[in-house]
Amino acid sequence: MKHKIAVTREVFEETLDLLSPHFEITANQKDRVLDAEALGHLLGDKEGVLTGITDRVDDPLLAQCPALKAVCNIGVGYNNIDVAACTRRRVLVTNTPGVLDESTADFAWALILSAARRVTEAERYLRDGQWKRWEVKQMLGFDVHHSTLGIIGLGRIGRGVARRARGFDMSVLYHDRVRADAAIESSCGARYVDREELLRVSDFVVLTVPYLPETHHLVGRDELALMKPTAVLINVSRGGVVDDKALAAALAAQQIGAAGLDVFENEPDFDRQLLGLRNVVLTPHIASASETTRRRMAEMAARNLIAALSGQRPPNLLNPEALG
């Protein structure tokens, strides 16, 4: 008899083809929004699940799913999953690291350039029929080349962002909880500084840290006050790393120059103050959304689930303690 699994969000047909020889699948290919009650009902008799980053897996949900053995997230971040609660119940948890690093680093640069050169604002201006003539002082932005890039979090994505800065002849600074070794610093052309110095001297500040209790509101009112009035803040990490309300106030007061945000607190119910600001580029959590990358993420999650329910150690296991 095949194991019963669920796929909570619409995925590629090739993902289902990979899973189908192994499992009896209930797939949400209509991509209905599943609240906690619907998710509990879906998973009540399932042994495994492919989750999206919006699916909250916590102790109350797990209590409704006594057969559940594996939760495989399609995403590198997993703050939607209570890993400790899963471990207590011997439920394996996996994510999809590595596969999305380069696409996310690419997108960080899309936000850097769009925010610095006012690309989305200028496009709206043109589309709305407001462009009547060329002007010397029209849509003036900030130069990226030969400026200073500060990266908070020099993990795989942060290193990808740093490497791309070479083409713009930038000085690269970074801060992380643990300093990288000399070889990594050299390969990225990055110099370690403390967080306060990074915020004070950087023209562009890019956040590439995971969302953890210690990174909640890592950038808030006090940190924004340290930044240059022409500085640009970029967040491609997770919502909650930035205090969005404080950021909206800083942007409205032109305390900093601009921002580019792909992630938000309580998304998709983000702070609507941001919509009224011209000096912020907003995108709907799509940093990893190239077709190739999303297909690879779904495949990696599927292979994690196949391994987990066939008695093997999943390649991207987050809680080996649950193996027992």
The predicted pLDDT at position 301 comes to: 98
Write 46-49 long-range contacts (CB < 8 A, 24+). Answer: 46/4, 46/5, 46/6, 47/3, 47/4, 47/5, 47/309, 48/3, 48/4, 48/5, 48/6, 48/23, 48/72, 48/305, 48/308, 48/309, 49/5, 49/6, 49/7, 49/8, 49/305
Query: Which residues lie below 8 Å from residue 201, measured CB to CB, with a gap of 6+?
Result: 148, 150, 173, 193, 228
Sequence-ordered strand ranges (E) for 103-175: 148-152, 171-175
Q: Domain 101-282: state its class.
A: alpha beta
pLDDT digits (tens, 9 = 90+) for 35-50: 999 999 999 999 999 9
Q: Across all residues in the chain, what is the average pLDDT?
A: 97
Residue 324 in this model has a pLDDT that exceeds 80: no
The predicted pLDDT at position 142 comes to: 98
Instruction: Give the chain's length.
Output: 324
18 in Cβ contact with 300 (< 8 Å): no
The full 3-state SS of 167-227, as one line of letters, equals HHCCEEEEECCCCCCHHHHHHHCEEECCHHHHHHHCCEEEECCCCCHHHCCCECHHHHHHC
Q: Hey, which CATH number is domain 3-99+291-323, 3.40.190.10, 3.40.50.720, 3.40.50.2300, 1.10.260.40?
A: 3.40.50.720
268 upstream amide cis, omega within 30 of 0 = yes
Active site residues: 238, 267, 285
Residue 274 in this model has a pLDDT that exceeds 90: yes
The predicted pLDDT at position 33 comes to: 87
Where in the sequence of the chain do the CATH 3.40.50.720 domains occur? 3-99+291-323, 101-282
pLDDT digits (tens, 9 = 90+) for 52-109: 999 999 999 999 999 999 999 999 999 999 999 999 999 999 999 999 999 999 999 9
Strands 92-94 and 148-152: unpaired
Residue 223 in this model has a pLDDT that exceeds 90: yes
